[in-house]
Amino acid sequence: MIVITAKFQVRPEHADEWPRITADFTRACNAEDGCLWFEWSRSVETPDQYVLIEAFRDEQAGAAHVGSPHFKAAQQELPRYLASTPHVINTTVEGEGWSELGEMTV
């Protein structure tokens, strides 16, 4: 699976509204056939920063995501709300989902 983690530095005046601003895009991404997850989290230490963690079944699913109309629309719409270019880590890993964290078994 392809796992992508990206940090988005949102302009302070838009930070509280970021979940609403990205809601349609997020729903469309999660509805993609090859999307395993597409989830936002807000930084506790830097409230204007959001972290996106997304995963796709394989390269074909990742390519379909980047080629989708909603991705292309987001490329045009979202930068106006950002303070800087997002930073990203993109990697391919074995598996099909999350594993349990054995060091904190409940």
From CA 10, how far away is CA 80, in angstroms rounded?
9
Burial category of 101 from C-beta neighbours within 10 Å (exposed 0-12, middle 13-18, buried 19 and up): exposed
What's the pTM?
0.92
> What's the pLDDT at 23?
98
Of 79, 75, 77, 76, nearest in space to 66 by CA = 75
Report the range of poorest mean pLDDT among 46-55, 61-70, 93-102: 93-102
Residue 104: inside a domain: no
> pLDDT tens digits for 22-51?
999 999 999 999 999 999 999 999 999 999
Residue 101: inside a domain: no
Domains identified in the chain, total number: 1
Residue 71: inside a domain: yes
> What's the pLDDT at 31?
98
* CATH number of 18's domain: 3.30.70.100
> What's the pLDDT at 77?
98
